[in-house]
Amino acid sequence: MNQARKLIAAILASPKAVRFDDACKAAELLGFVHKGGKGSHRAFARPGEPELLNFQNRAGTIPPYQARQLIAMIERYGNEQISD
CATH assignment at residue 63:
3.30.920.30
pLDDT digits (tens, 9 = 90+) for 46-78: 999 999 999 999 999 999 999 999 999 999 987
Distance between CA atoms of 78 and 64, rounded to whole angstroms? 19
Distance between CA atoms of 44 and 24, rounded to whole angstroms? 8
Confidence of residue 83 (pLDDT cuts 50, 70, 90): low
Q: Can you give the pLDDT at residue 81?
A: 58
Domain that holds residue 22: 3-81
pTM higher than the cut 0.75? yes
pLDDT digits (tens, 9 = 90+) for 2-45: 888 899 999 999 889 999 999 999 999 999 999 998 889 999 99
Cα atoms in the 13 Å half-sphere on the side-chain side of 68: 3
